[in-house]
A and B are shown apart, each in its own frame.
Chain A
Amino acid sequence: MSNKTITILNLYSNDMNIYGDRGNVLCIIKRLERYGYSTELIEYNHGDNFPDNIDIVIGGGGQDSGQSKIQQDLLKIGPKLQKLADDNVPMLMICGLYQLFGRFFKTSEGEIIKGIGILDIETFGKSERLIGNIITYSEQFGDIIGYENHSGQTFLGHEVNSLGRVRLGAGNNTLDVSEGAKYKNVIGSYLHGSLLPKNPAIADFLIEQAVIRKFGKFTKNKISDKYTDQARKITLKRPR
């Protein structure tokens, strides 16, 4: 292993970590190691000091109780995250943190939960829960596969692109065919599964951006994805 170290920040690992979100962190760490890099994992939880020199930020989903617990703290560190995002730091935000990276979440009772606005998206709580296997297609990443489970419906503003177009499932909302959002190297998505292990194209994108940003170039040596390819093939054939 080289002495080149990539530092990964896992946002709110205690409260925003549901449906296998830790698989995303594990995937980034293992793939970086297999590509020959050292890794450092920093778990950030509410009240902690926000660390410097971050190369990748990963965040997950939570229950309502978890979201309300971290919201104030997130607003506090929001400007720091915005600076990192503007500075092309790659980030992946799933479900709950995807929503809170947007402008606001309006609950079904009408309460407005303010987000940090890195992503130009707005989310509205609905009574219907969108649950099941989901397949989306993106020109950059190909078929993106996962599992969605959310009652918030997200709508994209003009400053973001969607991550993919839905082929099976619901995605951001029940009205259009978009799923997820992308601003610079920040990716937001509703997909669990976990997302990265079964979508190595996205994992490698985050890794490549982080390595290039820190060390100038990334040489992608081949690592085995034999189980990944088979798992993807089978998942693509499973019912909703």
Chain B
Amino acid sequence: MSKPLVTILGKTVKSFARLRGGGSALPGLVVERIDPNFIKDILSSLPLGVTVISGTNGKTTTTKMVVELLESQGLKVFTNRTGSNFSRGVAAALLSDINIKGKLDADIAVLELDEAHAVHFVDKIPPKFSLLLNVMRDQLDRFGEIDHTANLLRHVANATSEKVVLNRDDIRIANIAKSLDDKKVKFFGIDEKLLKYFPSDDNLHGSKYKNKITEKADVVLSKFHDDYATFTIDGKDITTKLKLNGIYNVFNAAAAIALVRSIIGKEINQKKLIEALSKVTPAFGRGEMLTIDGEPLELVLVKNPSGFQLGLKSFNPSGYATMIAINDNYADGRDMSWLWDVNFSSLANAGVDLVSGIRAYDMALRLDYDEVTIKNVEVDLKIALKNFISINKNQPKRIYCTYTAMTSIRKNLSKITKVEVVK
């Protein structure tokens, strides 16, 4: 089939899928089936090629940051914005952005890919740049083991032609450098004093903080206080105010800066870069702040033990009504074991107001074993959300939720009340 025809067909499926209120990846799937080279042909025509961002936690917000930072440098950026990070999602995103002749008006593509899909993707389309964030225990029912996941990312690094940006303080990511030419590697990192806020997988699983810092990093997150962060960029300290919620997002800002510096090179306009950084907000559901009845409501996406633990460390529960919603659909991961790798005792003083989702009782059981009191358990998310909002009307609220719980909450929130996105 000719390219314009595939494009038209894909766009048509896309508009139908939207009418049905369906998922974002379906039209991409259709196009991929008909023309397997669809993505490759279009992306390989971009002057700055393809950048891949992968790792367990923080992909979506980091990708959003990288896109906005590149745009601050005057580049036109194509990205898979919907958070549907499989290559089908990439094809779906392409369908929106290309013109009818199948041409994409962009300088560079910045793509968020999960570890398993990144491997297949880079085999077809080798990226010029890649950024590898971290390896944590996430949905191991899909990937098997964490060392295996690290090997998937090593494969992505090997397929990258120009620069690979690596997390110096995640031992499995840092080790990837050993199989790469030194000139191809750039590191981002975090000051030793802040390391305790960013436990690596081994730290979370019993080992003490023993990451040895030996590699020199291009960008280091050296201080973080309230809304201000200090980055040491190429040896010089730069302090800026940030809108990012959650300290782990701030570490990923260091990753984004290092990647953008690799892509742009000497020509970089640092003033514009930092200005753009100060304006970046978290991605959909990643520490997002909404307003309901004049009170803030924060949605914190939790997908794996490390992410959940970091969320609990980032947000103080006192004064807040807390809800936790745990689903076990395919996109969430079916295995509930991960809840037992999170320590919930920080919630013991304030307690949890409501526990919901398909696996609400697994979560309730988990909290009970950490001596956290629970006011209510309601499996049905719709009812739970309504009750949570009406009972805690005059209080700031926070909901920790898995991926499909979050999408359902977002949908139901807009039915209950006017949702205002604050930041």
Chain A residues, CB < 8 A from B377:
227, 230
Chain A residues, CB < 8 A from B358:
234, 238
- Per the 8 Å Cβ criterion, residues 1-40 of A in contact with B are 13-14, 17-23, 26-27, 30
Task: Give chain A's interface residue range (CB within 8 Å of chain B).
Answer: 35 or more
Q: Can you list 23 A-B contacts (CB < 8 A)?
A: A19-B335, A20-B340, A22-B340, A26-B340, A30-B369, A63-B147, A133-B334, A147-B141, A147-B335, A149-B144, A149-B335, A193-B335, A194-B340, A197-B366, A197-B369, A198-B365, A227-B361, A227-B364, A227-B365, A227-B377, A233-B361, A238-B334, A239-B334
B205 near A: Cβ within 8 Å? yes
A73 and B340 alpha carbons, distance in the complex (Å): 27
A131/B141 in contact, CB under 8 A: yes
Chain B residues, CB < 8 A from A63:
145-147
Chain B residues, CB < 8 A from A192:
335, 337
Task: Give chain B's interface residue range (CB within 8 Å of chain A).
Answer: 20 to 34
Chain B residues, CB < 8 A from A151:
144
Using known A-B contacts A19-B140, A238-B328, determine if residue A14 contacts B207 with beta carbons closer than 8 Å.
yes
Main secondary structure of the interface of A (DSSP, over half): mixed
Residue of A133, A231, A239 with highest tally of chain B CB at under 10 A: A231
Q: Which 7 residue pairs are nearest across A and B when measured between Cβ atoms? A: A23-B340, A20-B340, A20-B337, A231-B361, A230-B361, A19-B337, A14-B206
A125 near B: Cβ within 8 Å? no
A240 and B140 alpha carbons, distance in the complex (Å): 15
B336 near A: Cβ within 8 Å? yes
B339 near A: Cβ within 8 Å? yes
Interface 1/0 per residue, B189-221 and A, CB below 8 Å: 000000000000000011100000000000000
Chain A residues, CB < 8 A from B362:
198, 231, 234-235
A129 near B: Cβ within 8 Å? yes
Instruction: Give the shortest distance, in Å, between A220 (CB) and chain B (any CB).
Output: 19
Contact partner, A17, options B205, B334, B336, B370, Cβ 8 Å:
B205
Chain B residues proximal to chain A, CB less than 8 Å:
137, 140-141, 144-147, 205-207, 328, 334-341, 358-359, 361-362, 364-366, 368-370, 377, 379
Chain A residues proximal to chain B, CB less than 8 Å:
13-14, 17-23, 26-27, 30, 43, 63-65, 129, 131-133, 147, 149, 151, 192-194, 197-198, 227-228, 230-231, 233-235, 238-239
B340/A197 in contact, CB under 8 A: yes
A200 and B341 alpha carbons, distance in the complex (Å): 19
A13 and B365 alpha carbons, distance in the complex (Å): 23
A149 and B163 alpha carbons, distance in the complex (Å): 36
Chain A residues, CB < 8 A from B144:
129, 149, 151
A18/B137 in contact, CB under 8 A: yes
Contact partner, A231, options B140, B146, B338, B364, Cβ 8 Å:
B364
Using known A-B contacts A234-B361, A234-B379, determine if residue A194 contacts B334 with beta carbons closer than 8 Å.
no
A193/B336 in contact, CB under 8 A: yes
Using known A-B contacts A14-B205, A63-B145, A147-B335, determine if residue A20 contacts B341 with beta carbons closer than 8 Å.
yes
A27 and B370 alpha carbons, distance in the complex (Å): 10
B141/A132 in contact, CB under 8 A: yes
A133 and B145 alpha carbons, distance in the complex (Å): 18
A193 and B328 alpha carbons, distance in the complex (Å): 13
A184 and B246 alpha carbons, distance in the complex (Å): 50
Which of chain A's residues has its CB closest to B341's CB? A20
A18 and B147 alpha carbons, distance in the complex (Å): 12
Chain B residues, CB < 8 A from A231:
359, 361-362, 364-365
Which of chain A's residues has its CB closest to B370's CB? A26
B334/A147 in contact, CB under 8 A: yes
A21 and B205 alpha carbons, distance in the complex (Å): 10
Which of chain B's residues has its CB closest to A151's CB? B144
Chain B residues, CB < 8 A from A26:
340, 369-370
B359/A23 in contact, CB under 8 A: no
Given A14-B206, A149-B144, A227-B365, 9 other A-B contacts at CB below 8 A?
A20-B341, A22-B340, A23-B340, A30-B369, A131-B141, A194-B340, A197-B365, A231-B365, A234-B362
Contact partner, B336, options A27, A43, A147, A230, Cβ 8 Å:
A147
A43 and B377 alpha carbons, distance in the complex (Å): 34
Instruction: Give the shortest distance, in Å, between B15 (CB) and chain A (any CB).
Output: 32
Instruction: Give the shortest distance, in Å, between A35 (CB) and chain B (any CB).
Output: 14
